[in-house]
């Protein structure tokens, strides 16, 4: 039965080839192709089953004759053309070797800051590896639009919010670099397909005081002080992991954020009176990645919360403080001020820190 099925494929494949050739042919050749399509059933009956060498020769002679008269290249001819085409392709490094070159290029041209190079290399490689594992490790010139579509579908089915877009952009950036900075690709296959702009970005739920108490009661104790800092400072996730130091301003203990993405992000955040004992805490000794913290609080509350929920919660609580104008809120949260009159320089900054301390201390403690 298995052999019989293979024999039938000769005619099934031949029929597909003739139908494709018909679409591309002129009116004269269409008549010839039509005739052979009509007689395929009778030919199948005449030339199968194949029970001897002679039968095989007759079948192959017939299919070769049909292809020749209909100007359809034989499978062997197509295979030899592909082999020749592959042989003409210049040698190209493996995709991961090219990725290493991409990372080195970004550092050399200062596209990635030195402090972010290792982190970016790891994050980008994780997403590239998922793409390769999903659609196969190929010559980078052989990836198709379907591969990109499959990758996008997988991302959307496994992640929510901004994550699919972030991961897609990382792999897309690598292929764009290949097209722009090397001679291996004329264009990026990622640029030839639509992105994920249809996904709606959703803000994290703002953590409430009751949820914070529940998290502290259930989470690993080693993370408790770090979570308290996020709750009472409203820092962005990466700020408290990579961009912080400690500084006292006019006798006010502050968390200092530097090297932020915007000038407004570089700021001093006075510590709430209930966490002043955390001044000087070495956070990097406990955790380096926000993902570990998100995992630590996952499932501890009824609503899905992330570390960014602490920032949303801080903003909500500041808005409820009566004597906290918008310029103070912006200064604490690291948002740009609305007008130049709200920007503070020189000695006026110390007064601003004292005012921020007065506002933050009005927030309700967790005990």
HEC states along the chain?
Answer: CHHHHHHHHHHHHHHHHHHHHHHHCCHHHHHHHHHHHHHHHHHHHHHCCCCCHHHHHHHHHHHHHHHHHCCCCCHHHHHHHHHHHHHHCCCCCCHHHHHHHHHHHHHHCCCCCHHHHHHHHHHHHHHHHHHHHHHCCCCHHHCCHHHHHHHHHHHHHHCCCCHHHHHHHHHHHHHHHHHHHCCCCCCCCCCCCCCCCCCCCCCCCCCCHHHHHHHHHHCCHHHHHHHHHHHHHCCCHHHHHHCEEEEEECCEEEEEECCCCCHHHCEEEECCHHHHHHCCCCHHHCCCCHHHHHHHHCCCCCCCCCCHHHHHHHHHHHHCCCCCCHHHHHHHHCCCCCCHHHCCCCCHHHHHHHHHHHHHCCCCCCC
Is the separation of the CB atoms in 38 and 93 below 8 Å? no
Residues 6+ apart with CB under 8 A from 338: 326, 327, 330
pLDDT tens, N- to C-terminus, the chain (367 residues): 334 444 446 777 888 888 888 888 888 888 888 888 888 878 888 887 777 888 788 888 888 888 888 888 766 555 555 555 555 556 789 999 999 999 999 999 988 877 788 889 999 999 999 999 988 999 999 999 888 988 888 888 777 667 888 899 999 999 999 999 998 888 898 887 766 654 444 456 899 999 999 999 999 999 999 999 999 999 988 889 888 999 999 999 999 998 887 788 889 999 999 999 999 999 877 887 777 888 889 889 988 888 889 999 999 999 999 888 888 898 899 888 765 445 554 444 567 899 999 999 999 999 8
pTM of the model: 0.50
Q: Which residue has the tokens 């052989």?
A: 142
């Amino acid at each position: 039965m298995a052999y019989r099925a293979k024999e039938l494929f000769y005619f099934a494949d031949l029929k597909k080839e003739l139908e494709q050739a018909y679409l591309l042919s002129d009116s004269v050749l269409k008549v010839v192709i039509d005739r052979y399509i009509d007689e395929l059933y009778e030919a199948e009956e005449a030339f199968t089953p194949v029970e001897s060498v002679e039968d095989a020769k007759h079948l192959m002679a017939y299919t070769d004759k049909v292809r020749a008269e209909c100007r359809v290249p034989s499978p062997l001819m197509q295979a030899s053309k592909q082999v020749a085409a592959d042989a003409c392709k210049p040698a190209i490094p493996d995709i991961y070797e090219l990725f290493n070159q991409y990372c080195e290029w970004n550092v050399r041209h200062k596209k990635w800051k030195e402090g972010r190079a290792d982190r970016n290399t790891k994050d980008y490689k994780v997403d590239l590896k998922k793409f390769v594992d999903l659609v196969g490790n190929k010559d980078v010139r052989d990836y198709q639009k379907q591969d990109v579509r499959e990758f996008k579908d997988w991302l959307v089915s496994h992640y929510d919010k901004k994550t699919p877009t972030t991961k897609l952009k990382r792999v897309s950036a690598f292929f764009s670099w290949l097209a722009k900075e090397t001679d291996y690709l004329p264009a990026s296959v990622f640029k030839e397909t639509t992105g994920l702009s249809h996904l709606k970005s959703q803000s994290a739920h703002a953590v409430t005081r009751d949820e914070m108490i529940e998290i502290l009661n259930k989470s690993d104790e080693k993370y408790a002080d770090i979570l308290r800092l996020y709750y009472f400072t409203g820092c962005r996730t990466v700020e408290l992991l990579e961009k912080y130091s400690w500084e006292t301003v006019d006798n006010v203990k502050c968390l200092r954020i530097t090297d932020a993405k915007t000038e407004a992000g570089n700021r001093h955040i006075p510590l709430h009176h209930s966490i002043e004992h955390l001044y000087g805490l070495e956070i990097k000794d406990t955790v380096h990645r926000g993902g570990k913290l998100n995992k630590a609080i996952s499932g501890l509350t009824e609503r899905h919360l992330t570390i960014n929920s602490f920032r949303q919660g801080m903003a909500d609580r500041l808005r409820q403080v009566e004597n906290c104008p918008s310029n103070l809120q912006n200064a604490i949260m690291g948002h740009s001020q609305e007008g130049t009159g709200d920007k503070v320089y020189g000695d006026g900054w110390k007064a601003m820190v004292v005012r921020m301390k007065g506002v933050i201390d009005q927030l309700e403690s967790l005990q």
